[in-house]
Amino acid sequence: MATATATINLNAIRKNWQKLRSLSSNDAAAVVKANAYGLGLKQVAKALYVEGARIFFVATAEEGAELRSILGEPSDIYVFSGHMVGDTELIKNYNLIPLINSIEQLSRHSKLLREQKFGVQLDTGMNRLGLEPMEWEASKELTLSLNPVLIMSHLACADEPNHKMNINQLNNFLTLTNKINIKKSLAATGGILLGPEYHFDLTRPGIGIYGCSPMQDCLPVLKIDIPVIQIRNIESGETVGYGNTWTSPSKKRIATISAGYADGIFRTIGKKTRLYFEEIGCPIIGRISMDLIGVDITSLNVEPDRLALINSRQTIDKIADDAGTIGYEFLTSLGQRYKRNYTGVAR
Ligand SMILES: *Cc1c(COP(=O)(O)O)cnc(C)c1O
């Protein structure tokens, strides 16, 4: 089989969430948007449910509907994008909690689904989603009369603990929610690490559950193994791959492995990335193709069946860094082609 394997450790996911929960002053939710950061909504959500998670956040009503079908009741499913045109039936039928982020959404929700739970998203400076302070002041009385179940905002710079934006947003959030006796939420993974004054009633970790920065001391969640299709010997002066970008300086042994940029292994991943046989790292050579990568295995004294891209030696964060991106983007770019194996217990 030429298909690469992504092995996802559900026990590690459970333990990482448990750790984020124990770091949180009060309750912790789990963010499972974008197919649980690309790792599989069904398996991940069930594993977290077993671990005790009962509050989930997704990006869209469609994701929420899928999650409700997986979990059933009882669990709270919040939708970051709020109540969009066309979402009403999904919100109602799948019992979702939209996080209202504009006056327009507020009037839509109060008109069409007055009895359905909702939360409010405030903008404290990120200028991405949420009611502006002026809009909030103008609509506060009406909104509160409709009994929102959560007030939240989101930090723009929480992965930089010393950034002054953090304290500015915290102060804005405190001002905007002053004397309001409703459940509050501000912190994602980065915000949890900033300290308890950022935690309020509910934290919303995502990336830390999946074992990536800015979370520290978390368990690795993913392993990627790629089959070797062919091994060849080349002479000094021969080239490998599209565009002849690599010319061999000496006799070499080259393995062609069965994955490429269609599997989220970005062409920009650069010269730092290695493919591992046990503890030995072998460099990528030539351009990464859609489905194939050339690897210099001259240093190995075996003919490997497969090489590892992600393992204990080379983490998601390391690869993401090699590609000039972040773990979030690497994970959500993995693509559909991997054979996904789940270890540990989901249910
Ligand atoms: C994605 C997201 C989260 C989770 O953030 P992480 O950095 O992955 O922990 C929390 N809140 C909001 C509003 C988000 O968009």
276: domain CATH number? Answer: 2.40.37.10
Does residue 200 sit in the same domain as residue 322? no
Does residue 101 sit in the same domain as residue 157? yes
pLDDT digits (tens, 9 = 90+) for 156-206: 999 999 999 999 999 999 999 999 999 999 999 999 999 999 999 999 999
For residue 112, tell me if it sits in a domain: yes
Q: How far is the CA of 346 from the centre of ligand 1 (A)?
A: 23
Does residue 77 sit in the same domain as residue 167? yes
Which one of 204, 238, 272 terminates a domain? 204
For residue 16, tell me if it sits in a domain: no
Say which of 92, 242, 251, 339 is annotated catalytic: 242
Question: Which residue's alpha carbon is at the smallest distance from atom 1 of ligand 1?
Answer: 206
Does residue 37 sit in the same domain as residue 95? yes
Domain that holds residue 229: 222-343
Looking at residue 271, what is its pLDDT?
Answer: 86
Does residue 119 sit in the same domain as residue 258? no
pLDDT digits (tens, 9 = 90+) for 247-266: 999 999 999 999 999 999 99
For residue 140, tell me if it sits in a domain: yes
For residue 134, tell me if it sits in a domain: yes
- Ligand 1, residue 158: give the atom nearest the CA: 7
Catalytic annotation present for 140 = no
Looking at residue 327, what is its pLDDT?
Answer: 97
Q: How far is the CA of 204 from the centre of ligand 1 (A)?
A: 6
Does residue 168 sit in the same domain as residue 295? no
Does residue 104 sit in the same domain as residue 235? no
Q: Average pLDDT, whole number, for the chain?
A: 97
- Ligand 1, residue 159: give the atom nearest the CA: 7
Q: How far is the CA of 20 from the centre of ligand 1 (A)?
A: 13
Q: How far is the CA of 207 from the centre of ligand 1 (A)?
A: 8
Does residue 52 sit in the same domain as residue 180? yes
For residue 144, tell me if it sits in a domain: yes
Does residue 226 sit in the same domain as residue 138? no
What would the 3-class secondary structure string for the chain be? Answer: CCCCEEEEEHHHHHHHHHHHHHHCCCEECEECHHHHHCCCHHHHHHHHHHHCCCEEEECCHHHHHHHHHHHCCCCEEEECCCCCCCCHHHHHHCCCEEEECCHHHHHHHHHHCCCCCCEEEECCCCCCCCECHHHHHHHHHHHHHCCCCEEECCCCCCCCCCCHHHHHHHHHHHHHCCCCCCCEECCCHHHHHHCHHHCCCEECCCCCCCCCCCCCCCCCCEEEEEEEEEEEEECCCCEECHHHCEECCCCEEEEEECCCHHHCCCHHHCCCCEEEECCEEEEEECCCCCCCEEEECCCCCCCCCEEEEECCCCCHHHHHHHCCCCHHHHHHCCCCCCEEEEECCCC
| Average pLDDT value for residue range 210-221 | 95
Total domains present in the chain: 2
Say which of 15, 33, 184, 252 is annotated catalytic: 33
Does residue 291 sit in the same domain as residue 324? yes
- Ligand 1, residue 152: give the atom nearest the CA: 13
For residue 2, tell me if it sits in a domain: no
Question: Which residue's alpha carbon is at the smallest distance from atom 13 of ligand 1?
Answer: 154
pLDDT at 101 over 60: yes
Looking at residue 176, what is its pLDDT?
Answer: 98
pLDDT digits (tens, 9 = 90+) for 54-95: 999 999 999 999 999 999 978 999 999 999 999 999 999 999
Does residue 239 sit in the same domain as residue 141? no
Which one of 204, 235, 260 terminates a domain? 204
Q: How far is the CA of 154 from the centre of ligand 1 (A)?
A: 8
Looking at residue 92, what is its pLDDT?
Answer: 98
Which one of 204, 235, 251 terminates a domain? 204
Question: What is the pLDDT confidence band of residue 346, given thresholds at 50, 70 and 90?
Answer: low
Q: How far is the CA of 182 from the centre of ligand 1 (A)?
A: 21
Looking at residue 73, what is its pLDDT?
Answer: 79
Ligand 1 site residues, Cβ closer than 6 angstroms: 31, 33, 80, 154, 188-190, 204-208
- Ligand 1, residue 209: give the atom nearest the CA: 9
pLDDT digits (tens, 9 = 90+) for 109-163: 999 999 999 999 999 999 999 999 999 999 999 999 999 999 999 999 999 999 9
For residue 13, tell me if it sits in a domain: no
Question: Which residue's alpha carbon is at the smallest distance from atom 3 of ligand 1?
Answer: 188
- Ligand 1, residue 208: give the atom nearest the CA: 9
For residue 57, tell me if it sits in a domain: yes
Catalytic annotation present for 261 = no
Question: What is the pLDDT confidence band of residue 345, given thresholds at 50, 70 and 90?
Answer: confident
CATH number (domain holding residue 128): 3.20.20.10
Question: Which residue's alpha carbon is at the smallest distance from atom 6 of ligand 1?
Answer: 206
pLDDT at 347 over 70: no
Specify the pTM: 0.97
Does residue 151 sit in the same domain as residue 237? no
